Amino acid sequence: MGKHVLLIEDEPNIIEAIRFILSREGWRVDTHSDGTTAYDRVTAVRPDIVILDVMLPGRSGFDILRDIRADTGLNGLPVLMLTAKGQVKDREMAERMGASRFMAKPFSNTEVLASVRELTGA
C-alpha cells in the first residue's frame, strides 16, 4: 500500500500545515500550486490521493476534478477538496462532480488526517 499524497494548493501556510501533518504520519507529500498544470502533475505522479484546493491560479479545482474524473486511468482516485468559502453551492458542485470528500478551511489537523486515512484505507 503506497502512502503518497499530491497536494494541489497555492497557500504556503496551508501547504506547510498539511505537509507537516501527513509526513509525520509517514506519507510522502508532493505539492503543486498551479491550476494550469495540475492535471498533468496528477497523471505524472499517480498519487494514492489528491488533496485539491478549489481556488487556484490558472484553473479552478473544479476544472481539475472534472479532468481527473474523465480519465479512466484515474478511476477510483480519492480526491479531497478544500475550499476557503465552505459555501453550500461549492459543496454541492464538488459532490456532483465526483469529489470523494469536501473540507472547508480552516480545518483541523485531525480532520485532514482522518479523511486521508479513511479515503485511502490507510
The string of pLDDT tens digits covering residues 18-54 is: 999 999 999 999 999 999 999 999 999 999 999 999 9
Q: What are the backbone angles phi and psi of residue 30, rounded to the nearest 5°?
A: -100, 145
Contact (CB, 8 A) for 47 and 82: no
Q: What is the pLDDT of residue 122?
A: 78
Average pLDDT over residues 12-22: 96
pLDDT at 86 over 60: no
Query: Does CATH number 3.40.50.300 belong to domain 4-120?
Result: no
Q: Which backbone phi and psi does 120 adopt, to 5 degrees?
A: -105, -5
Confidence (pTM): 0.94
Give CA–CA dist 11/72, Å, rounded: 30
Interval 72-90 mean pLDDT: 86
pLDDT over 70 at 1, yes or no = no
